[in-house]
Every structure is written in structure tokens, then in C-alpha cells.
A and B are shown apart, each in its own frame.
Chain A
């Protein structure tokens, strides 16, 4: 996997990056093992089907992990240090969703070496998650 190596000078407001990711049942199992979050809403189809969601939904912070990939690998990439992140989970992501993870630079501060990136995670043009992330360039 290629990692971008942008410097602060390379980045300008309006720059964007994205990637797509198909969610699999194995992702939910692996994320539960990694995080220790075995909540049945993400793993027990019988339980999840009886909730308002009608089936399994993806851990919110699995989506957060995809944001980590976007920042750490692409925008800005190698020199990034995430300082603060705010995400709103508007709609659930589900197994089989082809997610599009997109970030756009909305502010850049030379003095602090910070950029603010607006985040959108969508599936078939429906926004599932949105937010902001503040990243320092090392």
C-alpha cells in the first residue's frame, strides 16, 4: 500500500483524497477482537434483527479507523499526527456496503502546522458519517 508523504507546503485548502472499502462480516469480527467491543448489535444477527436497525451494523469506530487510514496514508500521509476528531454517525453502515471515505482540507494554519479536514463517509451517495479532524504535520 502506497503512503503519501505530503509536507505542509504541499497542502492547500480544497485538496481532497478518498478511497472505497467494501465492508465484510469478517471486518466486524476482527474489529471486535481488536477493540474488545463484542456488542451483539455488531455480531449477533438474531439480536440485531430485533432492534430498530433490523440487522447487524458496523462499529462506529471501525469507520473511525477508516478515517485514520485516510489521514495516515493519504491526506497528508506519512507526516500526520491526529490531534482531534469529531464524527457524527448519521446512518448505520452494514455488511456489504461499499463505503466511500472522503476528506477535504478546509483550513490550514502555517503557524501551528495544523490542517482541518472535513470527513464524509458515504454509501451509494448517501452520507452515513461526517465530521472534522485536526491533523498536525510533523
Chain B
């Protein structure tokens, strides 16, 4: 998931070495509502997938988002 980590870095300005599945909005200073929307939109664009509004609202950690993404890529 190098591409995933690159998008985390680009949007949230989090060094790749510090990226962990357990991280939530409370752990990442740049994870605000605007950047979260930009992050989801960028994932959709780069991985050519679409999320539902419910999925976006319920994902609360990087791991949860990654799991949601992997489920769509593996379909």
C-alpha cells in the first residue's frame, strides 16, 4: 500500500515512517474535516473506486479506511 501511504503523506503531511493503522483524527494534527474529504476523494481518484457516504462517515482510523479500500480493490 505504498500509494496509500503516499496519499496520507501528501494530504496529512505525516511522514511515512510514522504511519500506522491505529492512527485516528486525534493522532494526526492535519486530519481535519476538510483534509479528510480531500483524502477520501484522492483515494477514490488514485485507486479508481467509489465510497458511500456511510463508509466515509464510519471510518475512524487509517486502518479502517485501508480495510474499506482493500475490500473494494479486491472485489
Binding site for B on A (CB under 8 A): 83-84, 107, 109-114, 116, 134, 136
Is the beta-carbon distance between A107 and B37 smaller than 8 angstroms?
A: no
Which residue of chain B has its CB nearest to the CB of A106? B45
Interface centre among B41, B44, B50, B53 (most CB of A within 10 A): B41
| Smallest CB separation, A116 vs chain B (Å) | 7
Binding site for A on B (CB under 8 A): 34, 37-38, 40-41, 44-45, 50-53, 55-56
Instruction: Please indicate the chain B residues that have their CB under 8 angstroms from the CB of A136 in the complex.
Output: 37
Instruction: Please indicate the chain A residues that have their CB under 8 angstroms from the CB of B41 in the complex.
Output: 107, 109, 112, 114, 116, 134
Interface centre among B37, B55, B56 (most CB of A within 10 A): B37
Bound: A112/B38 CA distance, A: 8
Is the beta-carbon distance between A109 and B40 smaller than 8 angstroms?
A: yes
Bound: A110/B45 CA distance, A: 12
Bound: A47/B55 CA distance, A: 57
Bound: A116/B37 CA distance, A: 12
Bound: A136/B36 CA distance, A: 13
Contact of B38 among A110, A113, A114 (CB under 8 A): A114
Is the beta-carbon distance between B44 and A109 smaller than 8 angstroms?
A: yes
Instruction: Please indicate the chain A residues that have their CB under 8 angstroms from the CB of B34 in the complex.
Output: 83-84
| Smallest CB separation, B65 vs chain A (Å) | 12
| Smallest CB separation, B45 vs chain A (Å) | 5
Bound: A90/B40 CA distance, A: 30
Given A83-B38, A136-B37: A112 touches B45 (CB 8 Å cut-off): no
3 nearest interchain CB pairs?
Answer: A109-B41, A112-B37, A111-B51
Bound: A129/B55 CA distance, A: 37
Instruction: Please indicate the chain A residues that have their CB under 8 angstroms from the CB of B50 in the complex.
Output: 109-111
Bound: A49/B37 CA distance, A: 45
Is the beta-carbon distance between B55 and A116 smaller than 8 angstroms?
A: no
Bound: A107/B44 CA distance, A: 9
Instruction: Please indicate the chain A residues that have their CB under 8 angstroms from the CB of B38 in the complex.
Output: 83-84, 112, 114, 134
